[in-house]
Amino acid sequence: MNPAIDVRDLHFEVHGDGEPILLVHGFPLSGRLWDAVARGLGEGYRIIVPDLRGHGRSRATPAATMRDYAEDLAAILDRIGEARPVVLAGMSMGGYVAFEFCRLHPDRVRALVLTNTRAQADGAEAAQGRRDTAARVLREGSAVVAESMTAKLFAPSAPEALRAEWQAAMAATPPEGIVAALLAMAERPDSFATLAALRCPVLVVAGAEDAITPPADSERMRDAARQAVLAVIPGAGHMTAVEQPARFVAVLRSFLDGAVRARG
């Protein structure tokens, strides 16, 4: 049993009014990942941006599971009185959390956006690698992960200032939050069956130069879902929402105005 967290210990921001869109960041990032996307979407949506527990300004717990992160999202929606099904967008680990949310609360999801993520679980070697990294973070601190992630997060053309900004943000993530997330990711289940069972529209977004979740992972998700579209964004690595926010917003808007609106 993991330590419970009070919703008041979770940081989240809510902007605008209209169709609810819940934007879930990846590891070991924060809701700031979505700043430019939220600005680009503008008025007309109720945009809800949490920091997952142990990330950004949300309190860490010594352990967590995908279920904990997903139930935290449900608690935030309850807290702000949002009972309508949401457009749920998850980036990378945020996608893993989104799959879990779909398993737990299918009726609360109007449409799913999966960006820079994958549906397959870790293989034995990858899972062990995460456990080894967790042990190293406990010994040496968050900078270890901040450095190794920065090397992989961006397309080669990304500005140095962007890399430096996110390296500092990741280094500021508490070791406890990073360790809990690494172990949760190592334990996460395969989500292809979840994807295949979904009745809602799905948008899959890939960065053409994503070294962590390459476009081939996105093609597999597009093929597994009943009604999915795939957009591969040029000039983006793993951080598509910050590297190419205008292109990301254009793809998201066309999905919201098309497939999602058509469902009424």
Catalog residues that contact ligand MLT under the rule CB under 6 A: 26-27, 92-93, 185, 212, 238
AA identity, residue 203: L
Please identify, using beta-carbon distances, which residue of 26 and 54 lies nearer to ligand MLT: 26
Transcribe 97-154 into DSSP letters: HHHHHHHH-GGGEEEEEEES--SSPPPHHHHHHHHHHHHHHHHH-THHHHHHHHHHHS
Please identify, using beta-carbon distances, which residue of 93 and 241 lies nearer to ligand MLT: 93
CA dist., res. 253 & res. 74, Å (int)? 24
Please identify, using beta-carbon distances, which residue of 5 and 170 lies nearer to ligand MLT: 170
Q: Which two tokens stand for residue 28?
A: 């070991």
Using the structure block, give the residue that is written with the tokens 């799959």. 99
Nearest-approach distance from CB 83 to ligand MLT, in angstroms: 29
Nearest-approach distance from CB 92 to ligand MLT, in angstroms: 3
- The answer to whether 74 touches 104, Cβ cutoff 8 Å, is yes
Please identify, using beta-carbon distances, which residue of 88 and 260 lies nearer to ligand MLT: 88
Please identify, using beta-carbon distances, which residue of 10 and 97 lies nearer to ligand MLT: 97
Nearest-approach distance from CB 212 to ligand MLT, in angstroms: 5
Instruction: Reduce the DSSP state of residue 157 to 3 states and report it.
Output: coil
